[in-house]
Each structure stands twice: as C-alpha cells, then as structure tokens.
Amino acid sequence: MSEKEGKGPSQASLLVQLARERYDLVTSEDGRPYGVKKRGPNLAMPLRGKAGLRAQLARIYTDACDGAVPSQSALADAMTVLEGIAGATDPVPVHMRVAGDAGRVVVDLGTADGRCVVATPDGWHVADRSPVLFRRSGAMSPMPEPVRGGDGLAALRSLVNMDDASFHQLVAWLVAAWIPHIPHPVLTFKGEQGTGKSKAAQTIVNLVDPSPAAKRSQPRDVKSWATQAFNSWALCLDNVSTIPPWLSDTLCKAVTGDGIVDRALYTDDDVVVLTFRRVLAMTTIDAGALAGDLAERLLMLDLQLIDENKRRTEEELDTAFHEARPVILGALFDLLSAVLKELPNVHLTRMPRMADFARVLAAVDRIQGWNTLDAYTTSSANVAADALEGDPFGSAVVTFVESMGTWTGTAGALLEYLPAPEVPHQKWPKDATRAGGRLKRLAPILRSVGITFDDTQRTPDRHRQRLYTLTAPTGTRDERIPASEAPAASATAPDQHERADAETLDSVRPVIAQRPQGISADAADTTPDAERAPASAPRTASDQHRSTSPDAAGTADAEMHPISGREPLCGICRQPMAAALVAIGETTHPCCEPVLDPQR
C-alpha cells in the first residue's frame, strides 16, 4: 500500500485536477458538456474532438509534466469524470455566432481572443469579452472588426448584381439575419447562368457568418443536413435544381426552429439532440414546383444577366470584398442599432406570414426611406402564384373556384368535379382523404391569390364529413365565363336549380343518412327508385316516369357518371348536377321536371 501511495496520483487524476483548476465545466440546454476557460474568452469548448478540451488537456499535461504524454486510456477516464461534473450543473444557453433579444444583439467575431460586437438601440461597440457564452465549430471563420465611417452600403451595392428594389430587400435581410429570435425567410438568388448568383450568395453569407465553405451542396438526407445546420449560423445551398419533399419540409422547419433527436454513438438508449433556427440562402436557375409552405418562406431576388463588358474576375471581386468588408459591416451594424430602436414603434395593420421579418422591413423603410415591405409582399405573392401554377391540383382548384364563384362540398365531391390530368402526377390526390390533406396544405397559398378557404363546417348527417367552402375574389367569375355558360351558380347567388336541389336534398336526406357505410354512390344509383320512395317525400305523377323503368333509369345513370373528369349533366337542361343529387340517383333537376309532364 505504501508503494502504491508513493507512486502519486494517476494520469487520469492529474488530468481531472488540471481541468478543474483551469476550466469551468457546464452543460448546454441540449445536454452537451463544455469547458469554459477561467479568466479567458467566454467560449464553450466541447470536451471531445480535435478542437475540444481533451486535446487541450493533453497539451497542458505535457507542459506540466516535463514532456510526459498521457495515455489514451487516462484521457478517456478523465473525460468521463469531467462529463459527470458538467452534468451535475444546471443547463446554460450556449449560442452559435449570434445571440440576443429585442434589446441587445451580440455577434461573435470568431477570433481567438473571443471579441464580439454588442449592438443596442443606442449604438454598437466591440467588446473584449462576450457577455454571453458562444461555441465555435470548424465551419466558422473569423470576422473582421467593423469600421465606422464611409459608405458601406454603396460598397456592398457595387459587389452584387441586382436592381435597387432587390438590393434594398437584401440589406434588410442582412440586418434581420443578426436578430436571432425571429424567423428569417430563405434568401433565394434566382437567375440564368451568368448572373452572378453563386458569387453574390458567397458574399452575403460571408458577411453574416464567415465560413471556409460558404456555399454547400444540396444535402443527401436529414442527418447530413442536421450536421451542417448545427455547426453554422448561416448556410447557402448552391445550384439547387429540384427540392424534394423532405428537404422542403426541412427548410421550412429550419426557418422557424427545428430539432432532431438521434441515437448517440456506441449506445443503445442514449440520444443526441440537435436544435437550431438558422439563416438560409440558396441559388437556383429554376427550383421547379415549390411546395406552398416553402414558397411563403422565400425572399426571391431575381438577378439579371451581367454584360460581358462589365463582368469582373473572381480575384477582382474577392479583393474588393476583402477591402470593403469592414466598412460594410460597420454600416450594417449602424442600421441594426437603428432598427432595434425603431422596432418597438412599428405596428403593422396587416401581418403577412413572416410577420417578424415584415416588421424589420417596415423599420428599415422608416429609417432609410425605402419601400422594402411592399416590394417583399408583392414578390411573395408572385412566388406563391408560381408555386400554385406548378401544382396541377392547386391550379385545377383555382380554375374551378373562379368559374363557380363560391363552392361548398366535401373533398371527395371536389375530386369528382376536377378533371384529372391525362398523365398521372404525384401531387394529384388519389382519394378523398388525400384530397382533403392537399386542400389543407394549399389553404395559405390559396388565400395569397385571393381565394378564401373555410373548413370549419361538417355535413349534418351521421357521417359528419368535413365541408370545404372556397370563394373566389369578387367579380372573378363574371370575368372568366359568361353567366349563361357557368356551371351551377355559386352559393352567394343561388339560381332556381340550386333552390330546387336544396328542397330535394331536404326531402331525401334521411335516405342519405340511412345508406349503409361502404356502399358507393354508383351502387346506390342502381337501386330501383321505387325502393327509395317510402323514405322520401311522396312522388307526383311527373316523378313516376323515372321510377317505373329501371332500364331507363340505368340509361340516364350511365349518362350521369363523369367521364374524364366531366361533371354529370341534367338530362333536361344539360346543366351540371349537384354532387349530392347524383349520389342519390337523380338525373334531372327538380325544377326541370314540369317540362316532361304537359298536364302540370
């Protein structure tokens, strides 16, 4: 025992002692352990990894022990003990590049000494030590210290290829990118080849969050995306050609705040949590049909072709950006402080989808005398219209509603009315359930083009199916088609057909409610009318001509079924029949029947 005591503490014990003397051990809100150097920069250093506390402890041990090198097992044992010490503390917020709230914004310059920029409504300054805890990653590069004075916005204007309206929106987006507690739209540079999209995106990302890889390739899956997003505040996806559904949903979540839980390595039940809200940009010539929810989260800036006489080399642009960046940053921080001061006074009468970002635009407009908010809302409406145009089901719904004026019915009835595409399309719903889901997803984008959407009502029968009410903007129907050619007048101005249809439906509603579940409308149509008569109102003589001949009813029924998406027509007036009347076997409008009976 004495010999064992004479050997002194083990390597692992010395490593733990050295760590506790020099570092405060903390745990972040997502459960990750970090070490923060005492009386040093307010930077959170992960315990493991080549740039983590483990490597620093190995160096410190070698310096303190006359060149002796700790073993791998000693380092592993020490890390386990330090993780336990960190886990015993209350979680603390650990930020990436940007932190703050409505009253103060702190931007990490990424330098080894831990300096940062602190912006408040009263101005900004460079602080030697950050007031909040930041973490670093290998995807970060240092940011030069901002410089006051000079026309930084003019210097930035000379580096990007866009018109004044787009440039003003870009400046507002850059300011909003340093306000971490709000969602930020995905900045999208769109244009043909030779418009400078990639270079503009690289320039902008390196202003917000400098990185050795400012432009990234489109991720393969959610896991690779999460790794990139966790280690950068601002990311740019370059040359996006198509956006698959999983990536579209992922980008939407990253704008508003995302979290991913995955199994920790070498464990069965432990998990790793990645939580983040990010500033995103992308470049594209044409990203194809965009999902409606993603389209509402884009800030689309169109770039024009650069004249060959005005084109500059990459080296010239890099040199100009390197020289102008401190002045550009100074001008942006000046505007950020002014925006923080103005935001409490901004009250919008109409809140668009990205309401927090819209308030920033309004504040910038007041300070600069620009018109970025109106330009943004107009651009967003155009993007939404383009997204709707690329969706065959959404386009068919818009065309149908504008022709009807107002339409109310179930998703299944709407699906029957709409002409299905000749070539099957993955976005065309296959059944009523999927049609209802597509309508729900399309609701925001339908509203953006002026179509009101309501799905709060249900059918009064026992099936309680959801009813959808879609209303086109006033006057749309009259402009689209003549009143004489309009199929089935809208609910806002019912004609004699609809009034008669409603009366007939009231009389046969018990039949619909008693229909066995699982029997289709077509199957119900083949049932002789005589079998349905007791459950409905007594038929007059004019009704009997349709019920005495099942073969004749079958002939009318064959005419009633939609072919290639066409609506069933009345056998007398040749106007469209209501879906509910078709479902109970009616082939003519009730108001048309007197024509068939001369005695009436």
Burial of residue 251 (number of CB atoms within 10 Å: 0-12, 13-18, 19+)? buried
Contact criterion met (CB below 8 Å) for 299 and 379: yes
Look at residue 515 in the predicted model and tell me its pLDDT.
Answer: 38
Q: Tokens 């109102």: give the residue.
A: 537
Taking the C-alpha atoms of residue 516 and residue 529, their distance in angstroms, rounded to an integer, is: 17
Taking the C-alpha atoms of residue 412 and residue 433, their distance in angstroms, rounded to an integer, is: 8
Pairing mode, strands 95-96 and 98-100: unpaired
Look at residue 293 in the predicted model and tell me its pLDDT.
Answer: 72
Look up residue 418 and give its two tokens.
């709409």
Of 474, 497, 500, 470, residue with least CA distance to 407: 470
Residues near 497 by Cβ (< 8 Å), separated by ≥ 6?
A: 488, 489, 570, 573, 575, 589, 591
**Encoded amino acid at 29, one letter:** E
Taking the C-alpha atoms of residue 457 and residue 164, their distance in angstroms, rounded to an integer, is: 47
Of the chain, the end-to-end C-alpha distance in Å amounts to 120
Domains and CATH numbers, the chain: 8-87 (no CATH), 100-135 (no CATH), 152-384 (3.40.50.300), 391-485 (1.10.10), 496-596 (no CATH)
Q: Tokens 């007791």: give the residue.
A: 534
CA atoms within 13 A on the CB side of 134: 29
Give the C-alpha distances (Å, rounded to integers) separating 290 from 5, 162, 349, 534. Answer: 71, 23, 29, 53
Look at residue 258 in the predicted model and tell me its pLDDT.
Answer: 61
Per-residue pLDDT 10s for the chain (600 aa) are: 444 455 668 899 999 999 999 999 999 988 889 999 998 999 999 988 777 899 999 999 999 888 899 999 999 999 999 999 999 999 999 999 999 988 899 999 999 999 999 999 999 999 999 999 999 998 899 999 999 988 999 999 999 988 899 999 999 999 999 999 999 999 999 888 878 888 999 999 999 999 998 888 888 888 888 888 888 999 999 888 888 888 888 888 888 776 666 554 444 455 555 666 889 998 888 766 677 678 778 888 888 888 778 788 888 999 999 999 999 999 999 999 999 999 999 999 888 778 899 999 999 999 999 999 999 988 887 777 777 777 788 888 888 898 888 999 998 888 888 888 877 777 788 888 888 888 888 887 788 778 888 888 898 888 888 999 999 887 655 443 433 343 433 333 344 444 444 444 444 444 333 333 333 334 334 433 434 434 334 444 344 343 333 343 343 343 344 433 445 676 666 567 766 666 556 676 665 544 334 343
Give the C-alpha distances (Å, rounded to integers) separating 341 from 132, 344, 366, 373. Answer: 21, 7, 11, 18
| Distance from chain centroid for Cα 7 | 62
Summary count for the chain: helices (H), strands (E): 23, 19
